Amino acid sequence: MNKKIRLKIRRHRPEDTGPPRFETFTLTIDADISILEALEMIQSGQDPTLMFRRSCHHSSCGTCGMLINGEQRLACVTRISQLKEGTITLEPLSGFPLVGDLAVVMTPLYEDIGEQWDYLREAEDLGGTNLPEGIDRFERFEDCIECGCCVSACPVAGEEKPFMGPAALAALNRELQKRAGKGARALLKQAGGERGERLCSRSLACSRVCPTAVYPARHILDLRRRLRGDGQKP
Amino acid sequence: MEHIIIIGGGGAGAALAHDLTLRAFQVTLFEKGDLLSGTTGRHHGLLHSGARYAVHDRAAAVECIEENRILRRIAPQALEQNDGLFVAVAPDDEAYGTVLLDACRDSGIDATRLSATEALNLEPALTPEIRGALQVPDATIDAWRLAMHFFATARHNGARLHPFCEVQWIDTRAGRVTGVEVLDYRTRKTRTVKGDLVVNAAGAWAGRVAALAGIDVPVQPGPGVMVAVEGRATNMVINRMRPAGEGDIIVPQRGLSVLGTSLWLTEDPDEVTLPKEHIARIRETCSLMVPAVGEAPVRSAWSAARPLIRDAGASSPQQISRTFESYDHAVTHGVEGFVSLLGGKATTVRAMAEKTADLICRKTGHTAPCQTHTTPLLPWRRFFAAPPGDGPSRSRA
């Protein structure tokens, strides 16, 4: 396999005067690579100052969310072969302040997520009949990698919008499932508050773009049912 | 207090920024990419018990178990603490299990021998062919979130962190290092930053950074391949019970099983090659321990360059020690004000920072003791609570 691909990348930095421009890079690839690998080839071979975020390369860190042909996706697990033929367009995630080029500031995502909310949960039952000595239960990280794809895709969330957004509501619902009593009531109040569930427009875009199958819309539906049950919302 | 400039925003730079701010130094860190865009984010995600090194690299094994215990205390939210197993499958030499058990005990690692049935009761996805197992205190790290805990805490304590800023020149004109020249990718402008001491914490890229000061350091990038497959096949880390080699570990993480790894040596840390044959071999050898991972679809495969310390005497790359060293270039090259931190691994970043900060204290005449082993880290989410860019403007005495 020896194939030429073209990537049209939005180049803009907050201090630039003038409108954002696109720059097109051409690469010759000899295998089906990821968008992230393509960006790394451009960075090492053509323009070291191209700005993008990346870390784990396997959809665990959540840093490389971007718009790939207009859709919110992770660059690390999006392969050239999954995209339609022709020039590939890359833009930063919409709804977040820009650092430069494809890199954005993730602060809005975290605005309504409690920094102490538990990131661990009980692991799925894999059929073991015993636990190792010294281990009370098998635990694992939550599926949400806080990549921001859902917030960017949501028609009513994003920077300076009143809605806390699907990532925060999904995280809130996960946290709610681990708490009881007073702690749970405070969370439900937050979900039912001014920035909460009531602003969701039910577009389901969040679940459609989520790269790690968190399906935030389901969590929002859960919360809606609970809030109604609690009589906090007509 | 002295102003310390750190070059490199990986795990080592993160832990060092944290340690130095706790000791009241002024800290500025530059990273040419985003924070954690190099080796740190790409590592396997194993919190080593040290057992992997116990037989052939005792120093690294002892470092690992000490740090393993500390990280469980100071950053529990960045770890899946489910322990690990070493499993023997044919044709492994069963006598190695005894050698490993003894070496673990000599290194201070709690290891327990399990029968094949006991191991299968814990992890039914293991091949029924296993001959025996050893339980060890391995764990899974969220590579990015653990390091972000250090960055969040360092920034909270006043460290100024500058991603997308490439150090292009180290000023040695005065016969000692007095500062750096930095290209800020966001503004496309260069600026000069004065410092009392510059630390090269660039990991696999440390050779390039040292060269900016005309110094050669013995770093040897050692890439390896990792393969993440769909499905959490086990809850415990699964290691092959034989001397360190290729395709001998499966690290569960979220809904994935991450298989690894290989090792070769290179001069260019930006080498992004991903040898296909490594992926196939790793899947095949890992499936000897857990058959399901051989069939599972691949989510992603990637390579990462370990920051090895060159060792011409090692008989194979796997025999190169995974320990670390801080080099005072006043001693090694007669260049004052410049320190390089080489080697090490994700499990030991805190200790790497402690040793380097101790050296910096000796050089600057301070006696502030290390506090990082007892200081719980702030959650990674705190990093995003503050405005991006510089840390709080609060200046330190």
CA A43 to chain CA centroid, nearest Å = 23
> Is the residue at B303 inside a domain?
yes
Q: Are residues B302 and B224 in the same domain?
A: yes
CB B273 within 8 A of CB B228: no
Question: What CATH number has the domain bearing residue B18?
Answer: 3.50.50.60
Contact A126 B123 (CB under 8 A): yes
Shortest Cα distance from B370 to chain A (angstroms)? 26
Statement to judge: residues B125 and B200 lie in one domain: no
CB proximity under 8 Å: A 76-105 to B: 76-77, 97, 99-100, 103, 105
Answer yes or no: do B175 and B33 share one domain.
yes
Q: Which of A39, A3, A37, A35 is nearest to A23 (CA)?
A: A39
Tell if the CB–CB gap between A107 and B384 is shorter than 8 Å.
Answer: yes
| pLDDT per position as a tens digit, B195-232 | 999 999 999 999 999 999 999 999 999 999 999 999 99
Distance CA B89, CA B240 (A): 8
Q: What residues of B are in contact with residue A120 (Cβ under 8 Å)?
A: 76-77, 80
Q: Is A22 in the B-facing interface, judged by CB distances under 8 Å?
A: no
- On whether residue B339 sits in a domain, the answer given is yes
A131 touches chain B (CB under 8 A): yes
Instruction: Please name the member of B83, B235, B379 whose beta carbon is closest to the beta carbon of A116.
Output: B379
In a domain, B361, yes or no: yes
Same domain, B256 and B328: no
Tracing tokens 């040897």 back to the chain, one arrives at: B220
Whether B221 contacts B307, CB under 8 Å = yes
Instruction: Report the residue of A52, A56, A99, A138 to disrupt the B interface, i.e. the one with the largest count of B CBs within 10 Å.
Output: A56
Give the Cβ contact number of residue B249 at 10 Å.
25
Q: Which of B309, B344, B375 finishes a domain?
A: B309
Element (H, E) at B79: strand B79-80
Provide the strand spans (E) within A80-172: 88-91, 98-100, 103-104, 120-122, 139-141
pLDDT(B389) > 60: no
In a domain, B264, yes or no: yes
Q: What is the pLDDT of residue B319?
A: 87
Kindly state whether residues B250 and B280 are assigned to the same domain: yes
Tell me the pLDDT of chain A (234 aa) as tens digits: 789 999 999 999 988 888 899 999 999 998 899 999 999 999 999 999 999 999 999 999 999 999 999 999 999 999 999 999 999 999 999 999 999 999 999 999 999 999 999 999 999 999 999 999 999 999 999 999 999 999 999 999 988 889 999 999 999 999 999 998 889 999 999 999 999 999 999 999 999 999 999 999 999 999 999 999 865 544
Distance from CA of B174 to the nearest CA of A (A): 30
- Is domain A3-104 given the CATH code 3.10.20.30 in the classification? yes
AA identity, residue A171:
A
Q: Mark whether B104 and B152 lie in a shared domain.
A: no
If you count them, how many residues does chain B have?
397
**Across the interface, do A15 and B186 touch by the CB < 8 Å criterion?**
yes
Q: Where are the domains of chain A?
A: 3-104, 107-229
- Establish if B293 belongs to a structural domain: yes
Pull the structure tokens for residue B371.
């506090």
For residues B299 and B226, membership in a common domain is answered with: yes
Res. B29: pLDDT tops 50: yes
Same domain, B155 and B10: yes
Q: How far is A61 from chain B (nearest CA, A)?
A: 6
pLDDT at B396 over 60: no
Tell whether the model's pLDDT for residue B390 goes beyond 50.
no
Cβ distance B253 to A140 less than 8 Å, yes or no, reads yes
ipTM exceeding 0.90, yes/no: yes
In this complex, do A133 and B112 lie within 8 Å of one another by their Cβ atoms? Answer: yes
Instruction: Tell which of B309, B342, B374 closes a domain.
Output: B309
Indicate whether B61 belongs to any domain: no
> What does the alpha-carbon distance between residue B349 and residue A92 come to, in Å, rounded to a whole number?
32
Tell me whether residue A219 is exposed, middle or buried, using C-beta atoms within 10 angstroms of its C-beta: 0 to 12, 13 to 18, 19 or more. Answer: buried
Residue B151 lies in a domain: yes
Which residue among A15, A57, A103 sits closest to B302, beta carbon to beta carbon? A57
Q: Give backbone dihedrals phi and psi of B66, rounded to 5 degrees, phi first.
A: -65, -45
| The two structure tokens encoding residue B373 | 């082993």
Task: Please tell me whether residues B175 and B295 are part of one structural domain.
Answer: no
How many independent structural domains does chain B possess? 2
Locate B57 and state its tokens.
Answer: 């690299």
Are B74 and B349 in contact, with CB atoms under 8 Å apart? no
* A171 SS3 class: helix
Fold of A107-229: Fumarate Reductase Iron-sulfur Protein; Chain B, domain 2 (1.10.1060)
Is residue B122 pLDDT above 80, yes or no? yes
Same domain, yes or no: B121 and B153: no
Query: Hey, are the CB atoms on A143 and B255 less than 8 Å from each other?
Result: yes
- CATH number for B128: 3.30.9.10
- The verdict on a CB contact (< 8 Å) between B388 and A99 is yes
Chain A residues with beta carbon closer than 8 angstroms to that of B145: 61, 119
Do the domains A3-104 and A107-229 sit in the same CATH topology, yes or no? no
Regarding whether B224 and B355 lie in a shared domain, the answer is: no
Q: What is the CA radius of gyration of chain A?
A: 20
On whether both B112 and B238 belong to a single domain, the answer is: yes
Residue A2, pLDDT score: 87
User: B114 to chain A: nearest residue by CA?
Assistant: A132
- Whether B395 shows a pLDDT value over 80: the answer reads no
Give me the domain span that covers residue B120.
81-140+220-309
Distance of CA B13 to the CA centre of its chain: 11
Burial class (CB in 10 A: 0-12, 13-18, 19+), B311: middle
Interface test with B, best of A52, A60, A146 (most B CBs within 10 A): A60
DSSP A196: S
Where is the domain boundary, B277, B309, B341? B309
Domain assignment present for residue B316? The answer is no
Q: Predicted confidence band at B272 (pLDDT cuts at 50, 70, 90)? A: low
For chain A, how many residues are written?
234
